[in-house]
Amino acid sequence: MAQLVGIAGSLRKHSYNRGLLQLAAAHLPAGHGITIAEIGDFPLYNEDIENNVGIPEIVASVKTAIAKADGILIATPEYNHGIPGVLKNAIDWISRPPQDQARVLHGKPVALIGATVGTFGTAFAQDAWLPVFRALRMSAWSDGGSFYLTRAGEAFGPDGQLRDAAVDKRLAAYIAGFATACEQMQTKGS
């Protein structure tokens, strides 16, 4: 069974992307698991920190979880039609030092989900992530198509629960497909 690491790209406690990630986690088929990695305490990437202090413990912990995982599920917001800085910062730290990328990221399946209050979903951000994943030699999962939620403010109720049954069903199918793909890749690699 596949073990995943989930990363929410928004630091807001009740963000739509954090809610979407938690909902995806709840929809994982039986036997599969997910660990939600917290990136809020990652410092801004600064090579002086890396050279003088080393990789911060919080970053090292997330890197270890990713290295052990069968795949990564990223819930990406979209800010100004692009990648959110806090999430890019986390990936930049996770990719350090370069000689450790093979252990942590190379070949690692990664799937994107995203929610926004706008009408285009997170399509621009998801497209912008693809060159980053290629550069890090990650395996962007696309068999399930794209999953992004538009008008998230209407889709989620004030209690943070998703009110749209069709979106819920689509998310359940998406996460099941990704978990199954990760499991199949894990089996092939054994």
pLDDT per position as a tens digit, 75-120: 999 999 999 999 999 999 999 999 999 999 999 999 999 999 988 8
Question: What phi and psi, each to the nearest 5 degrees, are found at residue 3?
Answer: -115, 125
Q: Residue 188 pLDDT more than 80?
A: no
Joined together, the tokens standing for residue 9 give 């790209």
pLDDT at 66 (0 to 100): 98
What's the average model confidence in pLDDT over 16-36?
Answer: 96
| Residue recorded with tokens 């995943």 | 4
pLDDT at 189 (0 to 100): 61
pLDDT per position as a tens digit, 116-135: 998 888 999 999 999 999 99
Which CATH number is correct for 3-189, 3.50.50.60, 2.40.50.140, 1.20.120.160, 3.40.50.360? Answer: 3.40.50.360
The structural domains of the chain, with segments of one domain joined by +, span 3-189
pLDDT per position as a tens digit, 136-171: 999 999 998 899 999 998 888 887 788 888 999 999
CA–CA separation, 60 vs 52, rounded Å? 15
pLDDT at 160 (0 to 100): 78
pLDDT at 164 (0 to 100): 87
| CA-angle at 105, arms to 103 and 107, nearest 5° | 100
Q: Residue 190 pLDDT more than 80?
A: no
Q: What band does 182 get if pLDDT is binned at 50, 70 and 90?
A: very high
- The verdict on pTM exceeding 0.75 is yes
Residues 6+ apart with CB under 8 A from 112: 74, 75, 76, 122, 126, 129, 140, 146, 147
Joined together, the tokens standing for residue 58 give 């919080």
What's the average model confidence in pLDDT over 40-47?
Answer: 97
Q: Are 20 and 149 within 8 A, CB to CB?
A: yes
Q: What band does 52 get if pLDDT is binned at 50, 70 and 90?
A: very high
